[in-house]
Amino acid sequence: MLAILASFLSAGCPVLASAEDGAAAPAKTIASPLENRAGGSVRVAGIVLKWLRTDKAANYARAEKLITEAAHGGAQLVCTTECFLDGYAIKDKSIPLDQYRALGEPIPGGMYFQRLTSLADRLDIYLVAGMLEADGDKRYNTAVLISPAGKLLGRYRKHQLEHELVRNTPGTETPVFPTPFGKLGIMICADRRDPNLVKQLKAVGADLLICPSGGMFGAVKNDPIVQARSQENAAPIVFVHPAEFLVTDAQGKIEKQVLLGDRLEIAHADIGTATDTNEVVYFDLRIPVKSN
């Protein structure tokens, strides 16, 4: 954490101690946006990784290796795909309902959620991670934001569920989260297709948007949608998907696009083969001017 702390304090960033879970956050936690300032940058890393359906242990182990690589590559903000942990099990409705529901993680009590917080703390990174959340009888397609101190800063629950509605509950809130690189808004996959939802994220103060995803991708089916949302809201978007990493700027221009294979999930027999295309993709994102 010391390296990140020194970097942002030298840029004039104050320190804010707060956490969603109500526990007293250590003084080293940075969670305050920069003052109106442009010209700085934050290194973002996307974990472009194929899913293994329902295998939380294997998905975590594979992602942990790449998240660690991202931190060693200087990333300050790291993002996984949508539901990286359960391998987007909702896609397969033949999975028995009890088995599917058991894949959900309570937040913050879940075993793998706790491992993610420890990982973010050890690596001194902000981590956006997609997972199936268990909250009582309900299941949510959720992305959590974890601080470099290993604290839960907040969560976002996917709104636009479409085929997921048979087993998951839609989210209703559009929170934004203060960070040293601006106020961060999160949306998940199909949410990017709803202009009003993205406008709401911008209206409540989002300076930049992160979109863990796992559906349509590529120059025809995906990129124009993300570009339109950036242009409409004058906000950069980082899109992380099992086969694509995309960054658009506040004018809707594509700043980086990496396509990696044409599959979203693989079988265990495919691990380590040419089909198992995965990569940590970096981008140095210019820090936007703080929202009023």
Predicted pLDDT at 290: 59
Rounded CA-CA distance 184/207 in Å is 6
For 226, other C-beta atoms within 10 Å of its C-beta total 25
Residue-wise over 34-58: b if at least 16 C-beta within 10 A, else e?
beeeeebebbbbbbbbbbbbbbbee
Give me the catalytic one of 82, 105, 133, 244.
82
Question: Would you state the pLDDT for residue 40?
Answer: 87
User: Does the active-site annotation cover 82?
Assistant: yes
Pairing of strands 182-186, 176-179: antiparallel
Catalytic residue flag (residue 173): no
Active site residue 28: no
Query: What stretches of the chain show up as alpha helix (H) in DSSP?
Result: 2-10, 56-72, 97-102, 111-123, 195-203, 218-221, 223-233
pLDDT reported for residue 38 = 44
217 forms bridges with which residues in the sheet? none
- Other C-beta atoms closer than 10 Å to the C-beta of 271 total 14
Report the distance separating Cα 130 and Cα 127, nearest Å.
10
The CATH number assigned to the domain with range 2-34+42-284 reads 3.60.110.10
Half-sphere exposure of 131 (CA within 13 A, CB side): 30
Task: Give the pLDDT of residue 5.
Answer: 39
Q: 105 CB contacts (<8 Å, ≥6 apart)?
A: 85, 111, 112, 113, 131, 132, 133, 134
Q: Single out the catalytic residue among 151, 158, 183, 202.
A: 158
Nearby residues of 181 by Cβ (< 8 Å), 6 or more positions away: 33, 34, 40, 42, 76, 77, 208, 285, 287
The full set of domain ranges for the chain reads 2-34+42-284
Kindly give the parts of the chain with pLDDT less than 50.
1-38, 291-292
Task: Give the pair of three-digit tokens for residue 58.
Answer: 């294997």
Cβ partners under 8 Å of residue 19, min gap 6 = 25, 29, 147, 151, 152, 153
Cα separations in angstroms, 132 against 91, 119, 135: 12, 19, 10
Condensed to tens digits (0 to 9), the pLDDT of residues 150-170 reads 999 999 999 999 999 999 999
Looking at 13, 83, 189, 211, which residue is catalytic?
Answer: 189
Mapped onto helix, strand or coil, the DSSP state of residue 222 is coil
The C-alpha atoms of residue 271 and residue 47 are separated, in whole angstroms, by: 16
Task: Return the pLDDT at 261.
Answer: 95
The model's pTM is: 0.86
Specify the pLDDT at position 29. 31
Beta strands in the chain (DSSP E): 41-48, 77-79, 126-135, 138-146, 152-157, 176-179, 182-186, 208-212, 237-241, 244-248, 254-259, 279-286
